[in-house]
Structure 1
Amino acid sequence: MMGKILLLRKKPLTILACVLAAALMFYVVNYPYAVSAAATKRQLPIYCVQRDQKMISISFDAAWGNEDTQQLIDILGQYDVKATFFVVGAWVDKYPESVKALADAGHEVMNHSDTHAHMSQLSSTEIVADINACNDKIEAVTGVRPTLVRPPYGEYDDHVVSAIRSMDMEPIQWDVDSLDWKDLSAADITQRVVSKVQPGSIVLFHNAALHTPEALPGIIETLLQEGYTFVPISQLILPGTYNTDYIIDHTGRQCPC
C-alpha cells in the first residue's frame, strides 16, 4: 500500500517535469535568437585568433625577478623573433632598465596590472586606476602607452573585461600554457608547447622561470621548421569585436569556437 502511495505522489511531479521540458523545447525551437543572445552575453578576453597563416605570438609575464631578461632578449634576437612582455607596474619600478631594454629590442611591453592584484575583487573604478597606474609607468620608460592587458592570475569576470575595454584596451589570455612556472624541465616545456600550438595561438611563458631560457631556442627552431612565423600579439589580433564565436576559452576548444 505504501508503495502505491509513493507512486501516486510522484506522478504529478513527473507530469510537471514533462510539461516544463516541453515548454523549454518549444521556446528553444521558436525563439532561437533569444537563446543564442543569452548564451553569448558573457564577455571573454582573447585567448587566440583564427588565422589561416601559420602565425603565432609568444608572450612573457614579468612580475618576479629580472635575472634572465637579457638572456631572453638575446635568444629572441638570435632568431629575429618579436614577443609581447606583460609587465607589472611594481616590476617597472624595480627594473626600469629591463623595461627599456625590452622596448629597445623591438618587443611589445604591455600591462600586467600595477600590483598583481586579483582584479575580480576590485571595483571597475579600482581596475581602471590600477591599469592606468601601470600604463603611466610603462609609458614613462618606453614612450609608448600599452593597449593590451593580461589580468593577473588569468582571472577575470564580466566586469573586469568591461572595465578594460572601457579604456579602449584589450584583455589577453592564452591558449597554450608552457607551465614553465611549475619548473618543468626544458624538454617537457618544449614538448608541451610544440604539441599544442596551432595557427593563431598565444603562448604563455614567464620571465624568471627556471628552465624557459633553456627551452626557448628549441621551441622557436621547431616551430620555424614547421613553417610558423612569430609576431607580437598586437599584430596577431584582428580589429573588431571579439566574442565567444571568435576566440578560444580556457577549456581548450579550437578557434573559432
Structure 2
Amino acid sequence: MKIVFFTTISKKLITGICITAGMLIIISSFLLSKYVISVNLVEKNYSPIYSVETNEKKVAITFDSTWGNNNTIEILNILDKEGVKATFFLLGKWVDEFPEETKEIYKRGNEIGNHSDSHPSMSNISAERLTKEITLGDEKLRKLTGSNTKLFRFPSGEYNKDLVQVVERTRHIAIQWDVDSIDWKEQGADIEFNRVIKNVKPGSIILFHNGAKYTTETLPKIIENLKKEGYSFVTVSELIYKDNYSIDHRGVQKINN
C-alpha cells in the first residue's frame, strides 16, 4: 500500500511539473514571438550619412559640380600640392560640358560620386525619375572613367525617406554633409574659412563647390589649418563604414556594438 501510494503521488507530481513546464514554454514562446514582431516593426532610419562617429581625427572634403564656370583644375592642383584626395559629386550635364575635367578628377586619384543627371527638384520627383537620373549620370561617368559610382548626393540636399530607399535600390549610398562652407553665396574668404574651421570635428564631411568665387583661396588655408590641428584627409568611401552600422536621427553613421 505504501509503495502504491508513493507511486500515485509521484505520478501526480510529475504530471503537474510537466503541465507547468509546458505552460511556461507556451508563455515564453508567445512573449518571444511578440518581442520579435515588435523588433521587426521598428522602422529603419532611412537617412543619408551626414558625418561619421569616430575617435580618429580624419575628415572628407567634398565638391559639388553642377554647371557653369568652374575652378576644377585649380582645385585639383591645390589638392595635389597638399597631398589630399577629395570626393567630387558630378552632375551628368556638367560631365557633358566638361569631359576633360571629369577625366582629370579621376586620373588624379580623387573619388567621383553621382549627383544626378540634370539636378531636378527633389520635392515632387518620382521613384522612376530619380532612378533614371542616377542611371544616366552613372552611364556618362562610366563612359569617361570606366568606373562605376558608389555614392550619391541629392541635388540641393533635398530628400525624404522614400527617395533614400530609391538610392539604396540603385546600390548607392546617400551622402550629405555636416560642415557647409556655403561658398556658393560668395560672402567672403574669411567668412567661409571661419565657418568651416569652427564646425569641423572628427568624422566630418565638408561641402564645397568647384565654381564658387573664394573656394580656391580658402581651400589651402583650411587644409593647412586642419593639418596643424592633427587632422588627416580621406575620401568619403574611406571615411564611412561599409557594414554593421546604423545611422541615427542626426545622420551620424555609427558602428553597431
- TM class by shorter chain equals 0.7 to 0.9
CA distance in 1, matches of 2:65, 2:225: 25
CA distance in 2, matches of 1:188, 1:35: 47
Q: CA RMSD in A?
A: 2.1
Q: How far is 1:184 from its partner? A: 2.0
Instruction: Give matches, 1:121-136, under 5 Å.
Output: 121-136=124-139
Question: Would you say 1:184 and 2:190 are equivalent positions?
Answer: no
Q: Could you tell me which residue of structure 1 aligns to residue 68 of structure 2?
A: 65
Check conservation: 1:206, 1:212, Cα contact below 8 A: yes
Select which of 230, 233, 238 maps to 2:241.
Answer: 238
Question: Would you say 1:108 and 2:111 are equivalent positions?
Answer: yes
Question: Would you say 1:201 and 2:204 are equivalent positions?
Answer: yes
The structure-2 alpha-carbon separation of the partners of 1:255 and 1:158, relative to structure 1 and needing over 3 Å to count, comes to closer
Q: How far is 1:240 from its partner? A: 2.1
- Code of the residue aligned with 1:127 in structure 2: it is L
The structure-2 alpha-carbon separation of the partners of 1:241 and 1:66, relative to structure 1 and needing over 3 Å to count, comes to farther
Q: Could you tell me which residue of structure 1 aligns to residue 174 of structure 2?
A: 171
- Code of the residue aligned with 1:248 in structure 2: it is R
- Code of the residue aligned with 1:203 in structure 2: it is I
Q: How far is 1:239 from its partner? A: 1.1
Q: How far is 1:65 from its partner? A: 2.6
Check conservation: 1:66, 1:98, Cα contact below 8 A: no
Q: Could you tell me which residue of structure 1 aligns to residue 216 of structure 2?
A: 213
Check conservation: 1:64, 1:207, Cα contact below 8 A: no
CA distance in 1, matches of 2:243, 2:68: 36
Higher-Rg structure is: 2
3-state SS of 1:119 partner: coil
Q: Could you tell me which residue of structure 2 aligns to residue 248 of structure 1?
A: 250
3-state SS of 2:211 partner: coil
Check conservation: 2:58, 2:232, Cα contact below 8 A: yes
CA distance in 2, matches of 1:101, 1:124: 32
Question: Would you say 1:77 and 2:49 are equivalent positions?
Answer: no
- Code of the residue aligned with 2:216 in structure 1: it is P
- Kindly report structure 1 stretches of 4+ aligned residues shifted beyond 3 Å: 33-38, 241-244
Check conservation: 2:183, 2:208, Cα contact below 8 A: yes
Q: How far is 1:42 from its partner? A: 4.0
Select which of 141, 146, 150 maps to 2:144.
Answer: 141
CA distance in 1, matches of 2:116, 2:130: 9
- Code of the residue aligned with 1:56 in structure 2: it is V
Q: Could you tell me which residue of structure 2 aligns to residue 53 of structure 1?
A: 56
Q: Could you tell me which residue of structure 2 aligns to residue 96 of structure 1?
A: 99
Paired-residue identity, % = 42
Select which of 218, 226, 234 maps to 2:229.
Answer: 226
CA distance in 2, matches of 1:157, 1:137: 26
Q: TM-score, normalised by structure 2?
A: 0.80
- Code of the residue aligned with 1:185 in structure 2: it is G
- Code of the residue aligned with 2:162 in structure 1: it is H
3-state SS of 2:243 partner: coil
Q: Deviations over 1:165-193 (max 9, x none)?
A: 01111000000000101102111111111
Q: How far is 1:158 from its partner? A: 1.0
Structure 2 gaps of 5+ residues are 1-34
CA distance in 2, matches of 1:118, 1:177: 20
- Code of the residue aligned with 1:59 in structure 2: it is T
Q: Deviations over 1:45-82 (max 9, x none)?
A: 00001111101000000002343111000001110100
3-state SS of 1:234 partner: helix
Q: Could you tell me which residue of structure 1 aligns to residue 32 of structure 2?
A: none
3-state SS of 1:121 partner: coil
